[in-house]
Structure 1
Amino acid sequence: MKKILLPTDFSPNAYNAVKYAISLYKEEECEFYLLNTYTPTIAHSRFMATAAVGKACEDVVKSNSEKGLGMLVERLENEYQNPKHRFITISSFNLLVEEIKNIIESVRIDLVVTGTKGASGLDEVFMGSNTVRIIKSIRNCPVLAVPQHFDYQAPAEIAFATDFNRFYTSSELRPLLDMARSFRAAIRIVHVQYQIKALTEVQQFNLNMLRKYLSGVEHYVHTVTELNSVSKTLEVFAEELDIHLLAMLNYQHSYVEKMTREPVVKRLAFHTRIPLLVIQELGMGTPPSSKRVKEVSTSN
Structure 2
Amino acid sequence: MKRILLPTDFSENSLNAIHYALTFFKGIPCEFCFLNIQKPSEYVTGEIYTSSPTESTIYDSVAKDHKEKLNELVLRYEKEYEQQPFTFDSIFDFDVFVDAIQQVVNTRSIELIIMGTNGATDAAEVLFGSNTLKVIRNVNCPILAIPEGFQYQQFASVLFTYKKEDEFHPDALKPLGDLINGKTVSLEVLCVDNHKELPKSDVLNLFSEVNYHEVDGVPTPEAINSYEQLLPVDMHTIFVKPKSFFQRIFSGSDVPKISYESKVPLLVLK
Q: Same fold (TM over 0.5)?
A: yes
Shift in Å at residue 258 of structure 1?
2.1
The answer as to 2:254 corresponding to 1:273 is: no
Q: How has the CA–CA distance of structure 1 residues 12 and 33 changed in structure 2, closer, same or farther, with 3 Å as cutoff?
A: same
SS of residue paired to 1:103:
helix
1:259 aligned partner, one-letter code? D
Q: Matches of 1:172 and 1:79 in 2, distance apart?
A: 33
SS of residue paired to 2:237:
strand
The answer as to 2:169 corresponding to 1:178 is: no
2:44 — aligned with what?
42
Q: Is the CA contact (8 Å cut-off) linking 1:13 and 1:148 kept in structure 2?
A: yes
Q: Matches of 1:79 and 1:240 in 2, distance apart?
A: 38
Shift in Å at residue 149 of structure 1?
1.1
1:73 — aligned with what?
74
Normalized against structure 1, the TM-score is what? 0.76
Superposed CA RMSD: 2.7
Q: How has the CA–CA distance of structure 1 residues 63 and 50 changed in structure 2, closer, same or farther, with 3 Å as cutoff?
A: closer
For structure 1, which runs of at least 5 residues remain unmatched after alignment? Answer: 194-198, 281-300
The answer as to 2:222 corresponding to 1:222 is: no
Q: Is the CA contact (8 Å cut-off) linking 1:168 and 1:210 kept in structure 2?
A: no
Q: How has the CA–CA distance of structure 1 residues 180 and 269 changed in structure 2, closer, same or farther, with 3 Å as cutoff?
A: closer
SS of residue paired to 1:28:
coil
Per-residue Cα deviation, 1:63-107 (whole angstroms, up to 9, x for no partner): 111011012123323433333011101111222211111111111
Q: Is the CA contact (8 Å cut-off) linking 2:170 and 2:199 kept in structure 1?
A: no
The answer as to 2:128 corresponding to 1:134 is: no
Normalized against structure 2, the TM-score is what? 0.84
Per-residue Cα deviation, 1:261-286 (whole angstroms, up to 9, x for no partner): 6xxx4xx9833311110001xxxxxx
Q: Matches of 2:198 and 2:86 in 1, distance apart?
A: 39
Q: Is the CA contact (8 Å cut-off) linking 2:170 and 2:201 kept in structure 1?
A: no
SS of residue paired to 1:108:
coil
**Alignment equivalent of 1:240, drawn from 198, 215, 230:** 230
Q: Is the CA contact (8 Å cut-off) linking 2:180 and 2:206 kept in structure 1?
A: no
Q: Matches of 2:198 and 2:56 in 1, distance apart?
A: 59
SS of residue paired to 2:5:
strand
Q: Matches of 2:261 and 2:167 in 1, distance apart?
A: 29
2:220 aligned partner, one-letter code? V
Larger radius of gyration: 1
Runs of 4+ in 1 over 6 A off after TM superposition: none
1:259 — aligned with what?
254
Shift in Å at residue 181 of structure 1?
2.2
Q: Matches of 2:188 and 2:237 in 1, distance apart?
A: 10
Shift in Å at residue 185 of structure 1?
1.3
Q: Matches of 2:161 and 2:83 in 1, distance apart?
A: 34
1:258 aligned partner, one-letter code? S
Q: Matches of 1:62 and 1:50 in 2, distance apart?
A: 14
Residue identity over aligned pairs, in percent, reads: 28
Q: Matches of 1:152 and 1:243 in 2, distance apart?
A: 13
Shift in Å at residue 29 of structure 1?
0.2
SS of residue paired to 1:182:
coil
Q: Matches of 1:269 and 1:99 in 2, distance apart?
A: 22
Q: Matches of 1:173 and 1:222 in 2, distance apart?
A: 19
Q: How has the CA–CA distance of structure 1 residues 143 and 184 changed in structure 2, closer, same or farther, with 3 Å as cutoff?
A: same
SS of residue paired to 2:33:
strand
